[in-house]
Amino acid sequence: MASLFGKILGGLALAAAAGGAVFWFITAPKPLPESAFAGLSIPDTVNGERLFWAGGCVSCHAPKGAAEKGDLTLSGGEPLKTPFGTFYPPNITADPDAGIGSWSLAQFGNAMLRGVDDEGEHLYPAFPYGSYSRMKPQDIADLFEFLKTLPKSNKASAEHALAFPYSIRRLLGGWQFLYLNAKPRVELASVDEKVARGQYLVEGPGHCGECHTPRDSMGGFLSGKWLAGAPNPEGGKGRIPNITPGGELASWSETDIASYLETGMTPDFDSVGGSMVEVQKNMAHLPASDREAIAAYLKAIPAVK
């Protein structure tokens, strides 16, 4: 009997050890090698600036109202309150100590594409690398080079205020295992060059789904609900609208959408409001062809009621 009991305990110990090893492997940070960012073209800061506005970097990483004053010092933005805790957007200026001035292209690229910081630790997906993972390495290089042209700041980044167990970064590896990939958010029946550009901007640098798509209890996007509208991500009043052809923009034409992104005016002569104000201001900096591509994509995706 004692021998049988010992075998059972030994089997349980082996199972626990095997489970622990699998967990440790799944949750480990998985950065890309430096070779993934080698052999690229000389960085193009003009394209980098285009991606900067598409990604809305200034809206999260600069103090409130700084952009309106022409100040693009990305020294850290306003707190982002979520059901998981409060996140503080960090200093991403070229300052070598307080910012990312000492980072290599590979380190910056891994933050953008894999959610891994310069010390090899997981980043929280409040930084939308779940969308940025679809960006091209050359675009990453161009954006990184443009950020270096902006003013530096030695302001230290604040620490996130998160409750247990969300404060355990290693667990983010499980989230990434479930949700992080570079696959298209939707499969489109027919994709021309214009729609393809719109898909890249919306699903990648524009990260529109981060606000417009509902999430499950772990913060991942609900399947089949891409851009179908969601609760306010900060828990406030109001709802982020459904921007599929089956939602609030159903009656809008491509021209209406493109014009809205440029001017902030709806077809009914209402003006942009809420958190979309910052997004629209960023989109207004894009060339007309990009806004038109976004509009074409939004009219091409599956309608969700």
Interval 185-199: pLDDT, tens: 999 987 899 999 999
**pLDDT of 86 strictly over 90:** yes
pLDDT recorded at residue 247: 94
Residues 6+ apart with CB under 8 A from 207: 55, 56, 128, 131, 132
| Res. 20 pLDDT band, cuts 50 70 90 | low
What is the model's pLDDT at position 217? 87
Q: pLDDT tens digit string along 195-221?
A: 999 999 999 999 999 999 999 988 899
Give residue 289's pLDDT: 98
Residue 250 predicted with pLDDT over 70: yes
pLDDT above 90 covers a percentage of the chain that reads 77
Most confident stretch, 11-25, 56-70, 165-179: 165-179
Task: Supply the pLDDT for residue 3.
Answer: 62
pLDDT at 242: 96
**What confidence tier does 68 reach under pLDDT thresholds 50, 70, 90?**
confident
Q: Is the pLDDT score of 15 beyond 60?
A: no
Contacts for 144 with CB less than 8 Å, ≥ 6 apart: 43, 48, 105, 108, 109
Please tell me the predicted confidence (pLDDT) of residue 5: 47
Strand 230-231 with 85-87, pairing: unpaired
Reported as a pLDDT band with limits 50, 70 and 90, residue 230 is very high
Q: What is the pTM of this model?
A: 0.90
Mean pLDDT value across the chain: 91
Alpha-carbon distances of 91 from 142, 154, 230, rounded to whole Å: 19, 8, 29
How would residue 232 be classed by pLDDT, with cut points 50, 70 and 90?
confident
| C-alpha span between 110 and 129 (Å, rounded) | 9
> What is the pLDDT averaged over residues 156-161?
94
